[in-house]
Structure 1
């Protein structure tokens, strides 16, 4: 039987190479796309799963419910909580603090940026990472110790044999020598520590910072290793009592939260194995991914495979009529239906196996491209592929072969040999073919609409008005320390750079790191209103640099002494001028921006009077709601700003040259501190790149789905060309013109495409409406997205069948009637 199957396949390749080629290529494309996307989905679902004892690892998250803003969960918490947790919860086996830093390696007089963190010596006890060189228990025990990744060691020294090497680390303009005490071994499993290049101990000099001693402040994350996986849920159930017990204190206690901390503050444990998807809804989590998008990508892979199987069925049924007489003769000679069924199923399995091999080749080609698109360390995992591929081949072979085998083996010899025309399979077969084409195009059109909406939303996020003028604006690094004289010198140096129109400082900027928030009270007619406000302090010329839109009142004026922020000791006796954004005005309940002018706000002994209202300025992700904000003014006459961020408005110079000039001016004032000026789009890129990359995946998926659908439609057209030649000959003999024949045939071919579009539009509308709801700023879901996809589907379908249609319409009646 195997020899018969092989001979039959070879004969089909010789007689109908186009059919067989389309069948194998369509299946291979579906298998290749499915395997590639399955690897991506496995990567996302396996994130953090490779960490030793990963089911016992958890991150401590903070929950804040503050007046005037929506409750939020934050991927960080106060380090002050850790000693109390170790005291109260014996379920904790080990714990570690981890904070991202601005550490730079000083190498040959230049600053080398590495993905660096400060942590505790217990780091390796918690995460269990292996060292290529060094002893894990002692690697971070000494204050000047340093652990490098193998990649960072090669980057800095050209080798991983770097134990004992001295590495100068610069932070905030201060350089301290550290000694390499360990080298991290490379890992193949994805987790949130995959990008770590440098680990250093937390300096004892920083243990007095507010995030170490205050419940209301944080500067990093706390990770716990529990004794048993079930301890995570047990600790979560006791966290409210823990907060009440330890975070309570008098209202004037700077380290406590208040007499009833549980009303505004909470802690919870986030299991690391679940963090990849849950972090998508956690504020300031770097690794969060929308589970719905990943599931959509996985579903797209499954649909691509289903489309390929449907395409194979379509092509096989279209070719079945060509083998009807072969089947009739073999049955006349005594072949049983069961034997014929096994033979045709074997042919389908053999073609599916060939497609599987070709699909694996396509997967090898697509995975590197997908890794480049997503920025993830994707690779072909043959453990997964080796298990999936045989199953895929069997499923595809069975799905694509069972119906054609049933049709072919069921032909009645007498009816076939007595007929002058080859059988068509009846109305059932025709409806199946139309249904398969409608299903293929329905799936393809749905994916295309989703792709258009995702790409439109991503482009909108990049180009949406952020509330300030981005063109001609460069943002620098946060200036370390609080040296008032140095801040003045840097501003003066920047303002004298050729091409600079204005320069200013602000404590907030696009993609800010440090944020100060306080609750302000407004005593209105209906009683006091409290709103938690994000605070920014700006210097002179800020309005000229950022050019925010003033909605009411006026901007700060250096000539007005009351606008300048006084020294902390003087704040209680002064009324400070302040500017609010539109969101803050709304949260305080003012009827309009004009209604807020002149009103007073109070917080912790500070009295502020609203002198102006600006439109909302977006410095963070478009997914996040804009935070209510208050701005103060500092002329740098009395006091420095807290780690101010310089910004420059420039004219007449290309951005790259302007950045080079500004960086040189920075070095002239702060030669010992790393600083770099860049455009707003560079600063904000992290908020957009993930959606952009996944939008490209949907684009590729849409292209693959359309291609497979077109192969199915081409098979239907080819079948019609063989089946309807006689009909066309009769029509033309009776006077039908070529145009009439073309219109008739196109109408028949496009009917399932029209049905597909009708079915696809409501499905895509529901999916994209739900996806867009995750953005604070989003596009409108207009009919244009659907019309473009539908028009494109019709255009591609027409182009696919046009050749066969013209071939039929131009056939000479006499030849067409002789053809059968």
Structure 2
């Protein structure tokens, strides 16, 4: 019986080629989108799950509050891990990471040298690869980081420096002092690894004096700490709550000395409304559930994005199935006589239902095969758009093939059940009298309802995509408070040592360079944060609350080079001794409560307890992307030596002209000063663009899926208008004979569908407005959704629908009326 049903299904598909192509292609495109989204979501959900005992590993986060400033970060003080292990038997072990920044790595082979700046260098504890089991290709995770002079590299770095030669036990020279490090391990490349932290080089933390020096500090927050729970503790669902409840007492006992050392009694710190809390976050939650938890070393996404793409996948496959339902019910007049005759000849309704479900499965199988081929063809482009590196073989791994099978069965049932029950519900007596062949009330109502659903989804996605692109454009075009054009940032300039200022002066003397400035940080590249005490009294006579300030150490050229706006006072000037001066931004003055900040003092409670005089107030500007709020910020003079980050940049303001030639001159000068460190630079506007790379990828993917949603909806509309024209063949012929114009015939065919699209717009606009308003809440600075975006989206949808309908309607209207009147 199945063989017979299949033969009939194939014959019907061949007989109605147009509808068959629409059904198969629409379903295939829908299935392709869903499979690609499934691969994307699966990859995102797999982050950090490859680690051994991943469910027992947690990152230690800190939630701090100083004055009115609060932060939540994936960093900890250096002693946190050891203290947790010593105080809580539930915690079995810990390991730490520290990112020292860009430094030089060199390999020597006789007279040959290979020297590169390496950005992905991490300092780690010796047990790092025991706690976090990154896959080692060579070496022993138990011992490879035990010796201070050891280094573990990835396959990519091994190939970069050693080519085909075995790198094990070879020597690399690291840093400005070219410290020799022996290669003791080779890791699998990180590109395809679903890990929230990726790196190229691991060096024992003992090599970094700054980390060793701050081993006492509970306020130096530059290390990521991971702890592993004991097996028994991990089995207790309440263990994290139990541990975190004990952390405040632990901090009082162990952090108080460090706070006292920087002149900030811990109890007084807490009594002033501040906080210093540690929390544990599951390793497998870091990538998707970090929210406001700041971390410069982790690759983070938002679980909400996966929900959005999941909803899009559902919409797309439902739209493809709706096409099938619409076209199947639209053909009820043609199929009704077949059904009537088969019922009269003794066919049961169940047999007819099986027939129509077989047809649905036939279309779905054909669509699934085509979808797999399309996935193979478009996967490289999808990887490029999404920033992934998903191999085609992944559709046969991890249950994806089972998902595709279930998806195909689900699509067949979704697309086939309603037409099967609808078409087989006709009574044979009424069918043979021609009643069902002419009356289309119920079927027409359902079809119009489904078209409304399709275009509602399409318009929602058009509106959403438009708002996403408007927000991105706003972020890129908004005045950030400083110049972006013709600014070049030279990296690693701390490697110039005492010659850095001479190098800067030499560059500034070039006619092609307007100005040059040295700073310890640069926009989009992070800043140094610490807390300070304003030396002022509140109205009630109490000392003002502490304030957390992000800051750079800069010279006198920094403000004019970036064209920052001074609202009050002055910037740094070599004519004055500004070693104990500070320039703050509006946000800092506002948080402290200063109406006239000039001449006010702030004290650093660490070091030598220096007090700094406010000499200027800057108009607020964005240090990072617009997703971050403007924080209290300060500029300190390089001459103050108030802190040392070990990092330096020189920023050049170029004159418009031959940029390539200018940079060649700068590179030549660099090599004269520092021949042992590769020359590296970036344009500031490129750095700013890179800050939005994740949002741009999401927007591109959203745009592609929106286009495909519209395409699938229009395919269904094309099939329906073709069927409507076929139904009205005689009517069109009679109207033409009676003098109707082509435009009148087109209006006759298209009017009902225009009403349907307008209804879809009325439904879609408030839904899209509500959800996009919620999406915009993630941006610290965002657009107000313009009213015209809804009208424009409706016009776009209507135009696409009219073009789709118009082609078929004009074709029908231009048909020879003589042939139309002969049609039975």
Question: Would you call these one fold, judging by a TM-score over 0.5?
Answer: yes
Q: Shift of the alpha carbon at 1:252?
A: 4.5
Alignment pair present for 1:671 and 2:698 = no
Alignment pair present for 1:381 and 2:395 = yes
Q: Shift of the alpha carbon at 1:36?
A: 0.6
Alignment pair present for 1:715 and 2:719 = yes
Q: What is the correspondence of 1:610-759 to structure 2 with a 5 Å cutoff?
A: 610-634=614-638, 643-732=647-736, 736-759=740-763
Cα deviation 1:212-233 (Å, max 9, x = unaligned): 2211112220111111324444
Match of 1:570? Answer: none
Q: Name the CA distance, whole Å, in 2 between partners of 1:448 and 1:32.
A: 20
Alignment pair present for 1:238 and 2:246 = yes
Q: Shift of the alpha carbon at 1:598?
A: 4.0
Q: Name the CA distance, whole Å, in 2 between partners of 1:619 and 1:636.
A: 22
Alignment pair present for 1:37 and 2:37 = yes
Q: Name the CA distance, whole Å, in 2 between partners of 1:88 and 1:608.
A: 40
TM-score (norm 1): 0.92
Match of 1:276? Answer: 287
Q: Which moved more, 1:94-103 or 1:246-255?
A: 246-255
Alignment pair present for 1:541 and 2:557 = yes
Q: Shift of the alpha carbon at 1:343?
A: 1.1
Q: Name the CA distance, whole Å, in 1 between partners of 2:558 and 2:671.
A: 22
Q: Name the CA distance, whole Å, in 2 between partners of 1:640 and 1:283.
A: 22
Match of 1:488? Answer: 501
Match of 2:423? Answer: 408
Q: Shift of the alpha carbon at 1:809?
A: 3.1
Q: What is the correspondence of 1:437-516 to structure 2 with a 5 Å cutoff?
A: 437-480=451-494, 483=497, 485-516=498-529
TM-score (norm 2): 0.91
Q: Shift of the alpha carbon at 1:60?
A: 0.9
Q: Name the CA distance, whole Å, in 2 between partners of 1:482 and 1:641.
A: 15
After superposition, the Cα gap between the structure-2 partners of 1:39 and 1:160, relative to the gap in structure 1 and judged at 3 Å, is farther
Q: Secondary structure at the match of 2:266?
A: coil
1:148–1:198 contact (8 Å) kept in structure 2: yes
Q: Secondary structure at the match of 1:72?
A: strand
1:466–1:618 contact (8 Å) kept in structure 2: yes
After superposition, the Cα gap between the structure-2 partners of 1:211 and 1:674, relative to the gap in structure 1 and judged at 3 Å, is farther
Q: Secondary structure at the match of 1:586?
A: helix
Match of 1:258? Answer: 266
Alignment pair present for 1:137 and 2:149 = no
Q: Which moved more, 1:364-373 or 1:604-613?
A: 604-613
2:486–2:656 contact (8 Å) kept in structure 1: no
Q: Which moved more, 1:459-468 or 1:724-733?
A: 724-733
Number of equivalenced pairs: 800
Q: Name the CA distance, whole Å, in 1 between partners of 2:53 and 2:330.
A: 55
Match of 1:523? Answer: 536
2:190–2:199 contact (8 Å) kept in structure 1: no
2:380 aligned to 349, 354, 368, which one? Answer: 368
After superposition, the Cα gap between the structure-2 partners of 1:115 and 1:481, relative to the gap in structure 1 and judged at 3 Å, is closer
2:9–2:358 contact (8 Å) kept in structure 1: no
Match of 2:159? Answer: 154
Q: Secondary structure at the match of 2:571?
A: coil
Match of 1:572? Answer: none
Cα deviation 1:71-126 (Å, max 9, x = unaligned): 22111111122221221012222211111232432242531535221111111220
Match of 1:589? Answer: 593
Q: Name the CA distance, whole Å, in 1 between partners of 2:63 and 2:782.
A: 26
Match of 2:74? Answer: 75
Q: Which moved more, 1:17-26 or 1:741-750?
A: 741-750
Q: Secondary structure at the match of 2:373?
A: helix
Q: Name the CA distance, whole Å, in 2 between partners of 1:111 and 1:443.
A: 51
After superposition, the Cα gap between the structure-2 partners of 1:664 and 1:212, relative to the gap in structure 1 and judged at 3 Å, is farther
Q: Shift of the alpha carbon at 1:685?
A: 4.1
1:249–1:256 contact (8 Å) kept in structure 2: no
Q: Name the CA distance, whole Å, in 2 between partners of 1:200 and 1:641.
A: 19
Q: Secondary structure at the match of 2:288?
A: helix
Q: Name the CA distance, whole Å, in 2 between partners of 1:525 and 1:256.
A: 19
1:249 aligned to 257, 262, 271, which one? Answer: 257
Q: Name the CA distance, whole Å, in 2 between partners of 1:207 and 1:545.
A: 31
Q: Shift of the alpha carbon at 1:28?
A: 0.8
After superposition, the Cα gap between the structure-2 partners of 1:816 and 1:784, relative to the gap in structure 1 and judged at 3 Å, is same
Q: What runs of 5+ residues in structure 2 fail to find an aligned partner?
A: 108-112
Q: Shift of the alpha carbon at 1:47?
A: 1.1
Match of 1:569? Answer: none
After superposition, the Cα gap between the structure-2 partners of 1:498 and 1:668, relative to the gap in structure 1 and judged at 3 Å, is farther
Q: Shift of the alpha carbon at 1:168?
A: 1.9
1:357 aligned to 369, 381, 390, which one? Answer: 369
Q: Name the CA distance, whole Å, in 1 between partners of 2:515 and 2:640.
A: 16
Match of 2:15? Answer: 15
Q: Shift of the alpha carbon at 1:387?
A: 0.4
Q: Which moved more, 1:716-725 or 1:230-239?
A: 230-239
Q: Name the CA distance, whole Å, in 2 between partners of 1:744 and 1:726.
A: 13
Q: Shift of the alpha carbon at 1:701?
A: 0.8
